[in-house]
Amino acid sequence: MAKEKASVTEHPPAPNAWLMALELRAPWEFWSVLPSWPALAKAPAGDGHPVIVFPGLSASDGSTLPLRGYLNNLGYDISGWNQGYNFGPRAGVLETAKRQLQETAEASGEPVSLVGWSLGGVYARELAKELPQHVRSVITMGTPFAGSHKSTNAWRLYELTSGRSITQEVEQFDLPAAPPVPTTSIYSRSDGVVAWPASLQAPSQTNPHTENVEVFASHIGLGLNPSTWWVVADRLAQTHGAWKPFERAGRIQQFVFPDPKR
């Protein structure tokens, strides 16, 4: 299969100061899980297939513990990335992630779903491009792959923590290209770290099974937000090989999830 070279026609600016200030609502998003639990508990049960969850920049598996606990409760075989804090793809990081994916797939005898928050979603997408035979699906949350590094407010932190040039990093990979597996990008227009257009997957000529799903959330709260959890659970529950796009079915979901055609 010929490699698809994706193109980006514009580079949205990073979120403004107002959106950055709205990131302070993240704790309330997590606390909203409690009143949302009766609805979250009605998500489709998992089939037990393995799922690896990657944390965002400067975060560890502790940040994804609530989401992983929820998915484990639904019946999935959940793993963190097991590499401590995510300070970027420093020496050995991607190789270790690749080895974890291969070993998980071989041990379970089936492909693995990859879930990534922010920078963790970049890892998930690139691993799926390199090892598609081991990946069942990819779900990203607030991941910047369709814009320049200046489409985020975290690029300086990235360079500081990773010790790497983000410009050279972006040039090394074709980030906008869709992985060759079912791929869902969850994004928020009120994201205060990543410009939301930078998280939009453009239509792919080689993979029609891609989609963008909008939620109301902050960037810091995306992985702790009950609406995000519902989307992740809904996408993971699909029968392998029978992908369908996310549906805003029912009045409640039409209220919770913005109309993509608005």
| Position 179 in a domain | yes
CATH classification of the domain holding 65? 3.40.50.1820
Mean pLDDT, rounded, of the chain: 92
Kindly report which listed range (18-22, 60-64, 115-119, 159-163) carries the lowest average pLDDT score. Answer: 159-163
**Could you tell me the two tokens for 186?**
């969850």
| Position 117 in a domain | yes
**Could you tell me the two tokens for 155?**
């690029």
| Position 8 in a domain | no
> Could you write out the DSSP letters of every residue in 7-33?
--S--PPPP-HHHHHGGGGHHHHHHTH
Q: Give yes or no for residue 1 having a pLDDT over 70.
A: no
Domain around 59: 17-256
- The predicted model gives 60-67 an average pLDDT of 98
Tell me the CA end-to-end span of the chain in Å, nearest whole number: 35
Q: Give yes or no for residue 71 having a pLDDT over 70.
A: yes
| Position 155 in a domain | yes
| Position 125 in a domain | yes
| Position 142 in a domain | yes
Q: Give yes or no for residue 32 having a pLDDT over 60.
A: yes
pLDDT on residue 147: 82
Kindly report which listed range (1-5, 124-128, 178-182, 198-202) carries the lowest average pLDDT score. Answer: 1-5
**R_g (Cα) of the chain, nearest Å:** 17
Q: How many domains does the chain have?
A: 1
pLDDT on residue 2: 39
Structure confidence at residue 184 as a pLDDT band (50, 70, 90) = very high
- The predicted model gives 85-96 an average pLDDT of 93
| Distance of alpha carbon 49 from alpha carbon 85, whole angstroms | 25
- The predicted model gives 228-241 an average pLDDT of 96
- The predicted model gives 57-66 an average pLDDT of 97
Q: What is the reported pTM?
A: 0.92
Check residues 138 and 4 and name the one with the higher pLDDT: 138
pLDDT on residue 10: 62
pLDDT on residue 9: 42
The closest alpha carbon to 166, from 122, 124, 117, belongs to 122
